[in-house]
């Protein structure tokens, strides 16, 4: 794999830390800025919504630019946004800085995925995407725990300064290693890009991503209370168990890329089925400490094994200039799934059936995702047959 691919991995690492590290700093932020934990939690939702909105807008706006320039420009905004977070004197300004940073997230991963697949042979494109997304998994395994520790000992602002430094390193590496575009990207326009997006296989692929990841985050958002209140672990055990989850992310991510290279459709369906099975079985695993730890790792593996196949599906069904936009939309779809999953899990906890059955309820999402994926496959076959059935003269 070319070095430029690992430059994208560094950028993905920075974005991953920025998105998730705040989960471990809600209490510190709430105390200093005098807001409730619920209000602090909105900093997570605000970021996810910023990704969902920013991905298509920035991708279309920068559609005709050389992709290397887009990636470097996004990293500049990323650095400025995290510095603004570190300096924010009020909750409102911190939220604004978070949203500003989030606007770059979807486009970076979307355009980066297109660049990654262009750096390798066709039969290695799934692996290339998984290597880029390894930055996100490493951020979860190492970056988030370290950022949380740093924020708890030196203040949450120190964490954002550290992420700013990571962004500067990523900026230099991207500028040095990512090659210039061999040819200028196709001129982008709203009409041409939207034509690529509104194709049924692409829309159904986006729906599959939303539903699949809603299942992951319906559980992961509430993993701490699941472990302590249902699994009967001490609070001190949560961080080590999350390291097991992060290890699963790394394994699942790389495995998903390999599966996508061999058979994309089978990989997409198999990984979603595995996710549904793990979520359902986790309900019963919470009765055993060892099984709980094992299934926490399996949740990470199954959840991230879906990423490369889902991203590859959307990329393969979009066309021409619309690939970057479709890819960015899919990153937004992952984050929309985060929001929906957290909301659905909260409903299950506040009403019936309650916290203990959150994993079982969450398993419904990947089952719905499988139905959407099967419909997408049929729609793709129908689209492929259309020219032969209705010749264009």
- Tokens encoding 169: 């390193």
How confident is the model at residue 84, as a pLDDT? 95
CA–CA distances in Å: residue 117 to residues 236, 239, 291: 41, 34, 38
How confident is the model at residue 393, as a pLDDT? 32
d(Cα 305, Cα 272) in Å, to the nearest integer? 8
Fold of 1-178: Growth Hormone; Chain: A; (1.20.1250)
pLDDT in tens, the chain (393 residues): 677 788 888 888 888 888 878 877 777 888 898 887 667 777 877 887 888 787 777 777 776 778 788 889 989 999 999 999 999 999 999 999 998 898 888 788 878 877 887 777 777 777 787 788 788 778 877 787 788 788 888 889 999 999 999 999 989 988 888 887 665 555 555 566 666 667 788 888 889 999 998 998 888 878 878 888 888 888 777 778 878 888 888 888 888 888 888 888 899 999 999 999 999 999 999 888 999 999 999 998 998 898 888 888 887 777 655 677 777 778 778 878 888 888 888 888 877 778 888 899 999 999 999 999 999 888 877 765 554 444 333
How confident is the model at residue 269, as a pLDDT? 92
How confident is the model at residue 389, as a pLDDT? 41
Which residues of the chain form CATH 1.20.1250.20?
1-178, 186-381
How confident is the model at residue 343, as a pLDDT? 83
Alpha helices in 139-199 (DSSP H): 144-154, 156-177, 190-197
Handedness of CA 295, 335, 111, 79 (dihedral sign): negative
How confident is the model at residue 90, as a pLDDT? 92
Residues 6+ apart with CB under 8 A from 63: 185, 187, 188, 189, 193, 321, 324, 325
Cβ-based burial of 195 (10 A; exposed 0-12, middle 13-18, buried ≥19): middle
**For the chain, what is the largest distance between any 2 Cα atoms, rounded to a whole number of angstroms?**
71
Q: How does DSSP assign 221-277, residue by residue?
A: TTHHHIIIIIS---GGGHHHHHHHHHHHHHHHHHHHHHHHHH-HHHHHHHHHHHHHH
Fold of 186-381: Growth Hormone; Chain: A; (1.20.1250)
């Amino acid at each position: 794999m070319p070095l430029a691919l690992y430059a994208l991995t560094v950028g993905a690492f920075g974005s991953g830390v920025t998105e998730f590290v705040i989960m471990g700093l809600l209490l510190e932020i709430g105390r200093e800025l005098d807001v409730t934990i619920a209000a602090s939690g909105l900093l997570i939702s605000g970021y996810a919504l910023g990704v969902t909105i920013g991905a298509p807008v920035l991708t279309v706006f920068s559609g005709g630019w050389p992709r290397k320039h887009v990636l470097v420009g996004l990293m500049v905004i990323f650095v400025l946004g995290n510095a603004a977070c570190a300096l924010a004197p009020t909750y409102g300004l911190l939220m604004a800085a978070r949203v500003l940073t989030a606007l770059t997230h979807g486009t970076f991963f979307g355009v980066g995925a297109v660049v990654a697949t262009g750096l390798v042979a066709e039969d290695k494109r799934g692996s290339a995407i998984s290597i880029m997304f390894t930055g996100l998994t490493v951020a979860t395994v190492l970056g988030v725990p370290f950022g949380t520790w740093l924020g708890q000992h030196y203040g949450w602002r120190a964490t954002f300064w550290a992420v700013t430094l990571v962004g500067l390193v990523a900026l230099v590496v991207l500028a040095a290693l990512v090659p210039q575009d061999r040819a200028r990207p196709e001129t982008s326009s709203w009409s041409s890009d939207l034509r690529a997006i509104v194709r049924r296989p692409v829309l159904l692929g986006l729906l599959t991503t939303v539903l699949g990841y809603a299942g992951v985050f319906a559980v992961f958002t509430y993993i701490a209370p699941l472990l302590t209140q249902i699994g009967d672990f001490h609070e001190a055990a949560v961080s080590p168990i999350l390291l097991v989850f992060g290890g699963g992310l790394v394994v699942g991510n790389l495995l998903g890329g390999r599966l996508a290279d061999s058979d994309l459709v089978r990989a997409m369906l198999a990984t979603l089925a595995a996710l549904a099975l793990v979520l359902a079985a986790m309900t019963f695993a919470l009765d055993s400490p060892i099984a709980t730890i094992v299934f926490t790792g399996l949740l990470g593996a199954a959840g991230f094994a879906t990423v490369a196949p889902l991203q590859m599906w959307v990329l393969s069904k979009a066309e021409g200039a619309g690939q970057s936009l479709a890819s960015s939309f899919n990153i937004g779809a992952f984050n929309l799934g985060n929001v929906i999953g957290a909301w659905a899990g909260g409903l299950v906890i506040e009403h019936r059936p309650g916290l203990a059955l959150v994993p079982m309820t969450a398993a419904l999402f990947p089952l719905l995702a499988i139905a959407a994926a099967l419909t997408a496959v049929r729609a793709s076959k129908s689209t492929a047959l259309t020219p032969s059935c209705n010749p264009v003269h």
